[in-house]
Structure 1
Amino acid sequence: MSELKPVTFAKVWRGYNVGETAGFPDDVADTLVSNGTAVVYDENAAKPKRGGRAATAAPKPAATSAPVSQAPTGAPAPVVDPALEPKP
């Protein structure tokens, strides 16, 4: 039984995503590397962090000059049915 050559994907290929590592027979691994789809796996390469937040936070929205009217905390907003409004 032959050994598998590990590669790390640089492009999406058949269900493998960028950054994933998988092992293939030498001929398949060499083809993936030669066409730029993957690079030979380097055990000592820095691994990217997973998850977390982006390095920069989204900007906060600008404050408005007019106050926003709000219902008192805990009180539901009034519902107005146009059919029940008095007619002029």
Structure 2
Amino acid sequence: MENNTENNVTGIIEENNTENNMNNTENVGIEDNFEQLEDIISKMQSDRITLEQSFELYNKGLSLVQDCNNQIEKIEKQIKIIEEGNINE
């Protein structure tokens, strides 16, 4: 049973890596990133995950958090530009 769980987690990690290599982070919505983060967190809380798998998931999570922060910063800049345009009118 434990080996099956390890295979499932490893398969998901590989699947996520493949998806991210195919998709530019600009094209992935922030909601999708949050869903992936929630999925990573639940997998990391599993008792049947190896240290190596935890490390891979942790790194993937860090990357997703960075992508989310970049997307939020971009949106904040756009909002400032819109607000400045409204003030000048």
Give the TM-score of the pair, scaled to structure 2: 0.26
Give the TM-score of the pair, scaled to structure 1: 0.26
Larger radius of gyration: 1
Higher strand share: 1
- Bigger relative CO (Cα 8 Å, ≥ 6 apart): 2
